[in-house]
Structure 1
Amino acid sequence: MSAARRWLLVGVAVAVLAGAVAAMVAGFVRTHERMEREVPLPPRGEAVGNPLYALRQTLRADGIDAHSRLRLQPETFADAPGDTVLLHGDPSLLTPDQVEALLAWVARGGHLLLRTPPARLDGSDAPPPMLRRLGVGGKLLGSGCEPLQVQGQPSHVEFCRGRRFELAGHAAARLRWGDGKRGYAYARLVRGRGTVDLLADFDFLDNESLGEVPHQALARQVLAPNYGRGRVHLVHGGRPVSFWRDLARRAWPAWGPLALLLAAWLWRRGQRFGPWLPSPAPGRRSLLEHVRASGELLHRYGQAPLLHAAVRDAFLARLQRRAPAAAALAGDARVAAIATRLQLPHMTVRDALAAPEPRDRHAFFARVRTLIQMRNRL
């Protein structure tokens, strides 16, 4: 094929391929439409461990000085009666000193937000000391939803997972949400010149929930007493979690398979109680057993003449040491000399020195036995 024809075929192939690609692109553009879609990403950074991160950023955007911390530090707001403290954790973890410090600060004009503690493992329904000091009597009740209607928004329900509470007769409640039979889900209690908002749960303030308009409106209402007057302290930590507990709770995708591998290795390498198979017979070092086993193997594979020759050579070696004159002879003369010295029949000595047939078992054993007896008589 000439070079011009070859290049012509290459050009035609390239043109056909380009046309096919153009047709595919045109079909794709004609049958598909480009659209944009927003996909919410999982939280990163501080938002992973701080459930009140969105609330803090929202307050700062509104000009409020808001701060987040893991532990309650009464000394940071003890001299600021216009501040607001939101304790997101379990109030039953407060120490007696912290309870006294908080109540004294509220009496001077502070605003404290608390939630009822979650259900305990021991099933106790008694309110913690902090709630009893605020006038919560009786026992903590089960959960129940409360309807919430914000203008221009669909109907909403709140406090579906939190524990309700009962108020004693001396409790000075400015606002209440709920009823005396099922318990209250929210109450604003007056203490001195300050107020305490007690709620069944703070789930509407979490990062995932604060984006809804009803939750924003409810958050603005519960923060109303000192809103804009001072700082807002958002305490989102409770009892310190140990490293090992946090590792067991968060890192199980890593240590779970490793634990299974470790258990499998220990099971594989560990000592069995009651073995599945009997223990193998211990090795023996008896030279006689090895020689016997070697002889049986050679005899099984038709090497009887080789074994007979070894026994005969051993006999002749001793004959050379004990009777050199007889060993120096050959043929019938040596047979006669050996028969005379050992006092054996002439035919017995001749048969013993002659090699047996490979498959003649009886002849092999008889001649080897005779050679051993002859060797022992020397």
Structure 2
Amino acid sequence: MGRPTRIGLGLLGLLVVALAVGWFLHTHERVDESEDLPPRGEAAYNPLYALRKSLTAAGLPAQSRQRLQLARVPLGPRDTLLLYSDPRALQPSEIEALLRWVHGGGHLLVRTPLPRRSAEAAPARDLLARLGVRTVEGPTRCEPLLVTGQEGHVEFCRGRRFLLVDAEPELSWGDGGEDGLVFARLGYGAGTVDVLADFDFLRNGDLREPPHALLTRQLLGPNWGEGTVHLVYAATVPPLWLQILTRGWMAWGPLLLALLAWLWMRTQRLGPMLPAPPVARRALLEHVTASGAHLVRYGRASLLYDAVRAAFVERLRRRDPLAAALKGEPGIDAIARRTGVAPRDVRQALQAPAPDDAKAFRQRIARLIQMRKNL
């Protein structure tokens, strides 16, 4: 292949690559997409995590915790406390301590309990009752929230409205009639108490909306920048058994299958009883025994004796040919020396028994077998 040919093939390859790149860029468009990942860590169970981060970014000292813990974390005179959980869970001693703190200049934000699903009785001396707040029973409805430059919002759709008894609010939001209010700011000594129907706009996913952020800023206005903001929430972590059931199935599923398989293997089978297995039998030995008994029963025991005597003589010829060749008394003496049996017993064993003498038959057979083994 000449040099011009190689150059032509190289230019052709470059042209093909350029055409492929041009086609790809013409038919495809680069698009950026953002996908929200599920929260992890503290953000997965702390609904006020984003609020705490926002306050810290704004230069305000803020901390969040699951329980009130007044003895461990004392409140400052100009601090702000937001109770995200149900205020009915407060102990009487905690209620008294909170009211004394608010009276000294603190700012408390509290919500009304969720609508009751049953006819449960509210505590007679809870925090809201001490503040002159009475919740309204019945179906809830939303309250519009209008912010300049933003789309219309509705809030407190699932909260419980309330009425004020012998209390005059500094600020209020909602119908002051039988339907009740969704927000009221009450003066208590040198401090302030804000009562709201719900805190749903403070949650992590909802706080990013501008109307919710502006509403949160107005709520935190009384002590803004003067103290620490304490965010107390009730952790909604599911119980351990539920997390194991829903998230640990890849571990307990195979173990459960293995356990069931083991139980199935070890469980007694159900059904009719099986017959006992037959005992192992030695058919050849039984056959020989039966044949011998048959010959003895019909007077043919001599055949058995002759067979045993012939087996002895055959082995004697192989082991001691000289003793087998001798006849008479010399042969008996040679067999006695070879087998270690007395000559008298050898002589008796080599003589055929009487046909009707069963005892002599058994003795001679036993002696022949012994002498055969001793060879």
User: TM bucket by the smaller chain?
Assistant: 0.5 to 0.7
Q: Aligned to 1:247, which of 219, 240, 247?
A: 240
Match of 1:102 in 2: 98
For 2:203, the equivalent position in structure 1 comes to: 206
Q: What are the superposed Cα offsets for residues 71-117 of structure 1, whole Å, 9 maximum, x if unpaired?
A: 21325775622111011122222222211111110111111011223
1:122-137 residue pairs with structure 2 within 5 A? 123-124=119-120, 126=122, 129-137=126-134
Residue 259 of structure 1 and its aligned partner are, at CA, apart by 4.6
- Equivalent residue letter for 1:24: A
Deviation at 1:193? 2.0
Give the letter for the 2:195 counterpart: L
Instruction: Evaluate the alpha carbon distance shift between residue 123 and residue 320 of structure 1 in structure 2; reply closer, same or farther with a 3 A threshold.
Output: farther
Residue 39 of structure 2 is matched in structure 1 by 43
9-18 or 129-138: which moved more?
Answer: 9-18
Q: For residue 322 of structure 1, report the CA deviation from its aligned partner.
A: 7.4
Q: Secondary structure at the match of 1:68?
A: strand
Is the 1:126–1:140 contact (alpha carbons within 8 Å) kept by the matching residues of 2? no
For 2:105, the aligned partner's letter is G
Instruction: Give the root-mean-square deviation of aligned CA atoms.
Output: 4.3
Kindly indicate whether residue 27 of structure 2 is the aligned counterpart of residue 34 of structure 1: no
Larger Rg: 2
CA spacing shift, 1:33–1:202, aligned 2, 3 Å: same
Contact 1:126 1:139 survives alignment (8 Å): no
Q: For 1:24 and 1:106, how far apart are their aligned partners in 2?
A: 74
Q: 1:319 aligns with which of 289, 301, 305?
A: 305
Taking the aligned partners of 1:317 and 1:13, their CA distance within structure 2 comes to 108
Q: Which moved more, 1:256-265 or 1:30-39?
A: 256-265
The amino acid across from 2:31 in the alignment is M
SS at structure 2 position matched to 1:172? coil
Q: Distance in 1 between matches of 2:112 and 2:126?
A: 12
Query: Is it true that 1:193 corresponds to 2:190 in the alignment?
Result: yes
Q: Residue type of the partner of 2:247?
A: A
Give the distance between the partners of 1:311 and 1:9, measured in 2 at CA: 104
Residues 1:283 and 2:277 aligned together: yes
Q: Residue 111 of structure 1 corresponds to which residue in structure 2?
A: 107
Residue in 2 that maps onto 1:170: 166
> Which residue does the alignment assign to 1:231?
228
Query: In the superposition, relative to structure 1, how do residues 132 and 216 fare at CA in structure 2: closer, same or farther (>3 Å)?
Result: same
Residues 78 and 226, structure 2, Cα contact 8 Å, conserved in 1: yes
Give the distance between the partners of 1:25 and 1:311, measured in 2 at CA: 100
Q: Residues 136 and 179 of structure 2 are in contact (CA less than 8 Å); yes or no, is this contact kept in structure 1?
A: no
Moved more, 70-79 or 267-276: 267-276
- Superposition pairs for residues 293-304 of structure 1, below 5 Å? none
Compute the displacement of 1:12 (Å).
Answer: 8.8
| Residues 69 and 247 (structure 1), Cα distance of their counterparts in 2 relative to 1, 3 Å cut | same
- Would you say 1:55 and 2:55 are equivalent positions? no
Q: Distance in 2 between matches of 1:318 and 1:88?
A: 109
Say if 2:64 and 2:230, in contact at 8 Å, map to a contact too.
yes
2:23 partner SS: helix
1:88 paired to 2:84: yes
Does 75-84 or 314-323 show the bigger shift?
314-323
State how 1:227-376 maps to structure 2 within 5 Å: 227-237=224-234, 246-270=239-263, 276-284=270-278, 286-287=279-280, 290-291=281-282, 311=291, 318-320=304-306
For structure 1, the 5+ residue unaligned runs are: 296-306, 329-340, 344-378
1:280 to 1:145, Cα distance in 2 relative to 1, 3 A: farther
Give the paired residue count: 309
- Residues 169-210 of structure 1: CA distance to partner in whole angstroms, max 9, x if unpaired? 213322332333333222222222222111122111111111
Partner AA of 1:26 in structure 2: G
SS of the residue corresponding to residue 162 of structure 1 reads coil
Q: Distance in 2 between matches of 1:283 and 1:120?
A: 71
Equivalent pair of 2:105/2:192 in contact (CA under 8 Å):
yes
Letter in 1 for 2:277: G
1:154 to 151, 154, 159: 151
8 Å contact from structure 1 (residues 118, 162) kept in 2: yes
**Does structure 2 conserve the Cα–Cα contact (< 8 Å) formed by 1:72 and 1:235?**
yes
SS in 2 for 1:173: coil
Gaps of 5+ in 2: 296-301, 315-353, 357-375
Q: Distance in 2 between matches of 1:20 and 1:140?
A: 77
- Cα distance in 2 for residues equivalent to 1:291 and 1:130: 95
The structural deviation recorded for 1:318 is: 3.3
Question: 2:172 aligns to what SS in structure 1?
Answer: strand
Structure 1 residue matching 2:248: 3-state secondary structure: helix
